[in-house]
Structure 1
Amino acid sequence: MQSTLLRAYGEARLPRYTSYPTAPLFSPVVDETVYAGWLSALAPRDPVSLYLHIPYCRSMCWYCGCNTTISARDEPVANYLDVLHREIEMVASQIGRRQRVKYVHFGGGTPTIMKPAQFIGLVHLLRDAFDIVDDAELAIEIDPRTISREMLAAMRGSGINRASIGVQTFDPKVQQSINRIQSVECTSQTVAALRRIGINRINFDLIYGLPNQTVQSCIETVKTALTMKPDRLAVFGYAHVPDVKKHQRLIDVKTLPDSAERVEQTVAIADALVNAGYKQIGLDCFALPDDELGVAQASHRLRRNFQGYTSDDCEALIGFGASAIGKTKQGYVQNETAIGNYSTRVRDGRLATAKGYSLTSEDRGRAAIIERLMCDFEADLPGICSRYGLDHAALTGGNERLSRAIDEGLAQMDGNILRIENDHRYLVRVVAAAFDSYLDRSAQRHSKAV
């Protein structure tokens, strides 16, 4: 790995490319009426994925970049779930049938803040409104500090078969710096409880670049995590955006690792996981060799969406809840972000869509190139251009970002294939950005490249 290049690009602000175009390009031009038409146009036989956003937590983690709010009371959560039920019913009615579903993901916030009976009722509603196939993946994000035995039982009875646990770090000093105290014992007990009830597919989320974090503390966190044998680990770089997430102002900026230290941390984590037998999946995910992600990567079927890397091959993702993002063949939609505005729309009998983006043929072609680079670290540029009716020469000719990436050795042309060597995989977003025709409009709103 050429550390000079990593350090040179480390401060660049680039999208994570979980979509293209990215969310800052969404506008109110795509509204509830447009989305209603897109829902009605879903092909009857095409399966879809569902995402449900529960934007509540009991306490605020200072590093958090999610759309969430803090509530010590249960009443706001119950009121929100009432609205969520109405939205699900409206969307299903607009589709006009029980659309087949292969993937369901409960995110947040803390989805397990729901009462067990509330969660069971929500899953029952989903099964009534949609045709959730027998082998569907039902995943939920868990905060091990607050989950109860009763909620675990509700998860088991509702068919949950994958759990994602927020770990971030096991270093007590770093935990103190981000206001998230979570012991090793708490996490390991939750993992053991999940496996006892038959939920064996377990993900961990880790973060590097946190305040007071060091390379050694990252390695120690990995070593501790490995004792619990998660199937997958997602490793994200902390994005410090206090102008957007005001609670991040509680973090002392002087304690944040610089770009060079962030590079060392992410490389150390990756090396430790690969040496332990995990396959590196794309940019920031690691999985055991027999995991579905590894199989998808080996067969060039790996995808990337708003949950990160996935084997989900559904063309459409339907998002429910405040701030939830969805996608159809026609484009992207996002619900109202503020809980109050979201609730008002739904209670008035309207879809919660606040903004979105209608895809052009060029957008689809550029998106395909970016996704293949992010997933496979290579892309057949002429092949993709031909498939989407793009002019290959126009796409690459005069492309200064692409020329610079090739000149500096980040990427190379191997016949028709644009390829990123393993040494430069951490800078894949830099190469992908060469095909982002909107980047200059939104770069200031993105996270660091490494």
Structure 2
Amino acid sequence: MTANLIARYAGPVPRYTSYPTAPHFHDGITQQTYARWLGAIDPNEPISLYLHLPFCDRLCWFCGCNTKQVRRYDPIAAYLDALNMEIATVARHLGRAQPVVAIHFGGGSPTMIEPADLARLRATLDAHFTVLPGCEISVEVDPNDITQARLDAWGAFGATRASFGVQDFDLKVQQSINRLQSFEQTREALDGFRQRGVQSANLDVLYGLPHQTEETLAATIRQVISLHPDRIALFGYAHVPWMKKHQTMIDEAALPNKTERFAQAALGARLLTEAGYVQVGIDHFALPGDRMAKAALDGTLRRNFQGYTTDTANVLIGLGASAIGSLEQGYIQSITATAQYSQLALAGELPVARGFALSDSDKARRWIIEFLMCGFAFDVAELRKLFPQHAEPLLRQAASFVAADPDDLVRMDGERFTVTQQGRPFVRVVASWFDDYLARGAARHSAAV
């Protein structure tokens, strides 16, 4: 890769965990809209649940999540009362105990939940949904929050995967992002989950952090590999201080430039593949026997608000403040402010802030973008079959992109539109070419690499 090519295509574009992306959601989608959408779900259709805990015991300066720091447990306990009530309200609008195939706990730090409250949350879910045998239950873990009692509670809950945010084990890098977490802490917490039957583990590593070098990144990745997780995510740090004010605490002068970020990403990918991991999409790696590696190979890999997933459910219900759900008709996002969210949830209302209703054209473009992000290609015949009213204009647009491409990022024949090997690091840019809303908004985004 030349520096000119990196400079040309490593600019800011969306991450495309949805289409249209969240900046285009609006308040025209109300709780009445959401109630109708919930009631229209097939009672036999398996769904997934995302539960959001927007609290941490410290604020990491690199974080892009909707969360806030708390010193006491009382706000968490009060929030969980509202979350339990929202679960009951959503189930009431569904009108039945919908089957559930996946549950994901995100945050914030879900591992701050005390054992008794976690048991009550599981009882609420069981009372209102049918959690199917083999349901994948994943939790984002902060090793600083872990106690033996909390490990026992997650084992009893039925957790099947623990996801750890490592970022970088180098002390200078950690101090620059206010995230102190040693390798030993991480290993002990991971061992604790494994001892309780949670055998699947995902570890997240970031590149592009302040004071990070190829040497510190390589050392971190080697330590991560030594823990033998079945999945590793290698994310680029998204520096968006205009959205996340706490990121202003980060010294921008210490951030790697575009070329250095690209080199770090390439180094990380090389080390992980040399260690036997299969690259999945743009930033995930999995052992060959893992479901994610198999899904990437057979074309069933999906992408949602948590990134790449093997979850095949077409409905994802978001629960908790700021949580986003995806239904056949469109997207729903809950109110972000925990006080307002809790007030509505405790009153038995759906705490909807905004959302987006999808047109058939949106669904066609979403299908193209998801296939590009997951498999770097889409099938022409399948596009015509699924979206006969919109396929030909989109295919003409795709052909124009190929004709105007001076750098051999994409190719197209009668059967497939394909992102080339040279184009793969810039697939977010290619996806943005099909984004009909990108030019309409004023949203700013993170770097593409």
Shorter-chain-normalised TM-score: which range?
A: over 0.9
Distance 1:147 1:434 in 2: 44
The DSSP-based 3-state class of the residue aligned with 1:408 is coil
The DSSP-based 3-state class of the residue aligned with 2:316 is strand
Distance 1:309 1:443 in 2: 26
Unaligned runs of 5+ in 2: none
| Residue 419 of structure 1: aligned partner | 418
Give the superposition deviation at 1:296: 0.8
| Residue 216 of structure 1: aligned partner | 215
Give the superposition deviation at 1:403: 4.1
| Residue 93 of structure 2: aligned partner | 94
Give the superposition deviation at 1:318: 0.4
- Structure 1 residues 305-320: aligned runs within 5 Å: 305-320=304-319
| Residue 68 of structure 1: aligned partner | 67
Correspondence 1:77 to 2:76: yes
Give the superposition deviation at 1:215: 1.1
TM-score relative to the length of structure 1: 0.97
- Structure 1 residues 32-431: aligned runs within 5 Å: 32-397=31-396, 402-403=401-402, 406-431=405-430
Q: Which runs of 4+ in 1 moved over 6 A?
A: none
Distance 1:393 1:39 in 2: 33
Give the superposition deviation at 1:343: 1.3
Of the structure 1 ranges 273-282 and 339-348, higher mean CA displacement relative to structure 2 is found in 339-348
Give the superposition deviation at 1:147: 1.0
Unaligned runs of 5+ in 1: none
Distance 1:342 1:234 in 2: 31
Distance 1:217 1:234 in 2: 17
The DSSP-based 3-state class of the residue aligned with 2:362 is helix
Distance 1:56 1:120 in 2: 19
Is contact 1:396–1:402 with CA below 8 Å preserved after alignment?
no
The DSSP-based 3-state class of the residue aligned with 2:423 is helix
Distance 2:399 2:5 in 1: 17
Q: Which amino acid aligns with 1:43?
A: D
The DSSP-based 3-state class of the residue aligned with 2:270 is helix
Distance 2:152 2:183 in 1: 22
Give the superposition deviation at 1:395: 2.1
Of the structure 1 ranges 186-195 and 149-158, higher mean CA displacement relative to structure 2 is found in 186-195
Give the superposition deviation at 1:5: 1.8
TM-score relative to the length of structure 2: 0.97
Distance 2:421 2:236 in 1: 19
| Residue 436 of structure 1: aligned partner | 435
The DSSP-based 3-state class of the residue aligned with 2:17 is coil
Distance 1:354 1:448 in 2: 27
Distance 1:83 1:129 in 2: 15
Is contact 2:402–2:410 with CA below 8 Å preserved after alignment?
no
Give the superposition deviation at 1:333: 0.4
Of the structure 1 ranges 384-393 and 136-145, higher mean CA displacement relative to structure 2 is found in 384-393
Q: Deviations over 1:11-37 (max 9, x none)?
A: x21111111111111111111000000
Q: Which amino acid aligns with 2:406?
A: D
* Structure 1 residues 401 and 223: CA distance shift in structure 2, 3 A: farther
Give the superposition deviation at 1:348: 2.8
Aligned residues: 449
Identity across aligned pairs (percent)?
45
| Residue 30 of structure 2: aligned partner | 31
Distance 1:3 1:273 in 2: 24
Give the superposition deviation at 1:7: 2.9
Distance 2:203 2:392 in 1: 43
The DSSP-based 3-state class of the residue aligned with 1:122 is helix
Is contact 2:161–2:201 with CA below 8 Å preserved after alignment?
yes
